[in-house]
Amino acid sequence: MSENSKKRVLSGIQPSGNLTIGNYLGALRQWVAEQETFNCYFCVVDLHAITLPQDPAALREKTREVAALYLAVGLDPEKVTIFVQSHVPAHAELNWILSCLSPLGWLYRMTQFKDKSAKQQQDSIGAGLLNYPTLMAADILLYQAHAVPVGDDQRQHLEYTRDLAQRFNSMYGDTFVIPEAMIPKEGARIMGLDSPTAKMSKSEESDYHAVYLLDPPNRMKKKIMRAVTDSGSEITFNDDLARAGVNNLLTIYQATTGETKEAIEAHFAGKGYGDLKKAVAEVVMAKLEPVQTEYNRIVGESGYLDSILAQGAERASEMAEKTLAQVKERVGFLARR
Ligand code: TYM
């Protein structure tokens, strides 16, 4: 199939901390599978990262790290476009145009805004944090993406993107493809190891909250062995909040191995929580070992990552500029001659 007739996919990750197995199981793992059938655009969303304060040197370093991890997990730069969001100015431009169409009521309703702003001083919350979903809509709509592979926590942002695209289309005529969220059946919401009723997050301070993709194997093991469980002994998938820790470990095992729930429960029948943790640590370490080897190879090859990102920005700009030009024409901007 030619690149033009394939359906398009776009997704991104913020370079705002260390990528976790949540990011891998909820997002990256799907991206790798999709590169075979879709025309894919994957960006490192640095413009989103600055909606909360970032240290400039750390932001630059994390941006490269996230891009190198995209490659290390198996994305093939010959098949997909990998780029840095701020390298394509069309994202910021479309963000502005869409902001003018974004009702404040919609934005104030976003749960992620409510959660993140609750942790800040009320009068120092940046306007960018409120406008975060509009920038995300711009990312997606610029590439006329049909599908957006994300974890469960992005569901509401995807609904928002669809609503905004429909609003634009009905005001100015059919312009944007209305995208669908693509959320994996297993692993869409990995919980914190130390707090299994809260989503695993890359910006959590606690040492035992998350397994990072670049953690040394013994550190991964230590974190998993310390995971919070409960006072029971049965190893079964269970939605009961009191069993959230065991359920989370089983979910990590399932999403990592691809085995069925029945096979996994049968495998752990009669075993203890210590056995479960050891088994989870083993499959996670085995999955990430080749990723780390590849990561080290990529960052060790001088100039390689920069050339991939330069080529990615060029390819992404081509598509983004095309959509932006159409949008500008529709809203009535005078073309520059
Ligand atoms: P971010 O950087 O928080 O997370 C990146 C991706 O990882 C998924 N994810 C998880 N999946 C399962 N369990 C978890 N504990 C977990 N934590 C994170 C997220 O759902 C996401 O898919 N707003 C986005 C970035 C973004 C974006 C976009 C995504 C900006 N523009 C356009 C898609 C399309 C975000 O904050 O992701």
For atom 20 of ligand 1, which residue has the closest CA? 151
Label residue 122 by pLDDT band (50, 70, 90). confident
Q: Which residues pair with 191 in a beta bridge?
A: 199
Residue by residue, DSSP assigns 116-140 as HHHTS-GGG--HHHHHHHHHHHHHH
Distance 47 CA to ligand 1 centre (A): 14
Domain-located, residue 94: yes
Kindly state the tokens that stand for 279. 């088994």
Helices (H), 7-45: 21-23, 29-34
pLDDT of residue 2: 63
Is residue 97 packed enough to be buried (19+ CB in 10 Å), middle (13-18) or exposed (0-12)? middle
Indicate whether residue 139 lines ligand 1 (CB < 6 A): yes
Output the CA torsion 226→254→19→10 (10° steps). -160
Closest atom of ligand 1 to CA, residue 145: 34
- Res. 126: pLDDT tops 80: yes
Place of tokens 């033009």: 4
Q: Are residues 162 and 240 in the same domain?
A: no
Residue 4 has pLDDT above 80, yes or no: no
Specify the pLDDT at position 3.
64
Q: Which atom of ligand 1 is nearest to the CA of 23?
A: 7
Residues 157 and 260 in one domain: no
Please give the tally of structural domains in the chain: 2
- Percent of the chain having pLDDT more than 70? 99
Tell me what pLDDT residue 59 has. Answer: 98
User: What is the domain range of residue 146?
Assistant: 3-183+302-331
Q: What is the largest CA-CA distance in the chain?
A: 75
Residues 24 and 172 in one domain: yes
27 Cβ inside 6 Å of ligand 1: yes
Identify the CATH number of the domain in which residue 256 sits: 1.10.240.10
161 in the same domain as 243: no
Please indicate, yes or no, whether residues 176 and 236 belong to a single structural domain of this protein. Answer: no
134 and 40 within one domain: yes
Mutate to test the pocket of ligand 1, among 9, 23, 50, 113 (most ligand atoms within 8 A of CB): 23
pLDDT digits (tens, 9 = 90+) for 179-235: 999 999 999 999 999 999 999 999 888 999 999 999 999 999 999 999 999 999 999
Catalytic residues: 116, 199, 202
pLDDT tens-digit map of 289-298: 999 999 999 9
